């Protein structure tokens, strides 16, 4: 009987420990990224974690973009944002991955090359480090 109580207590503590970091991600996070001409651009995300599934959106000047393929495990976060060029209709995929460190969300943003860019042997893929702070 006492072994069951101890095992139950340990399980409850572990489940609580896993759910606490998810609560730290929920909400709005803000920061800046380098723009096309090198100037800083404001950046904001709204995240919601349900188990290990991350959902939300990236706020934009003209439109909000949904987060897809989102996941959250321990302190690791990963998601995709796909943009569409207004003029050409070309879709560009950005993969974000990172972790919460000292109350700050540090993300690596990686641009995925399109099939056309690969065929033309254009190296447009690149990585950028972003640091976001909780807004609310």
The confidence score (pLDDT) of residue 99 equals 94
Of 77, 39, 81, the C-alpha closest to 60 is 81
Q: What is the pLDDT of residue 120?
A: 75
Strand residues in 74-126 grouped as ranges (E): 76-84, 91-101, 104-112
pLDDT at 60: 83
CATH topology of domain 2-134: Lipocalin (2.40.128)
Q: Return the pLDDT at 82.
A: 94
- Token reading at 129: 């480090």
Q: What is the mean pLDDT of each run of 10 residues along the chain (136 residues)?
A: 47 42 84 84 93 94 91 92 88 93 92 76 76 89
Domain locations along the chain = 2-134
pTM: 0.77
Residue 66: the pLDDT is 96
SS3 21: helix
């Amino acid at each position: 009987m006492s072994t069951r109580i101890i095992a139950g207590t340990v399980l409850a503590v572990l489940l609580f420990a896993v759910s606490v970091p998810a609560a730290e991600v929920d909400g709005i996070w803000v920061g800046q990224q380098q723009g096309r001409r090198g100037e800083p651009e404001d950046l904001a995300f709204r995240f919601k974690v349900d188990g290990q599934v991350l959902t939300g959106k990236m706020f934009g000047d003209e439109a909000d973009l949904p987060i897809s393929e989102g996941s959250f495990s321990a302190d690791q976060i990963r998601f995709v944002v796909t943009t569409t060029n207004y003029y050409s209709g070309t879709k560009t995929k950005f993969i974000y991955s990172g972790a919460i460190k000292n109350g700050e969300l540090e993300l690596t943003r990686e641009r995925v090359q399109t099939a056309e860019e690969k065929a033309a042997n254009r190296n447009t893929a690149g990585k950028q480090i972003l640091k976001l702070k909780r807004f609310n």
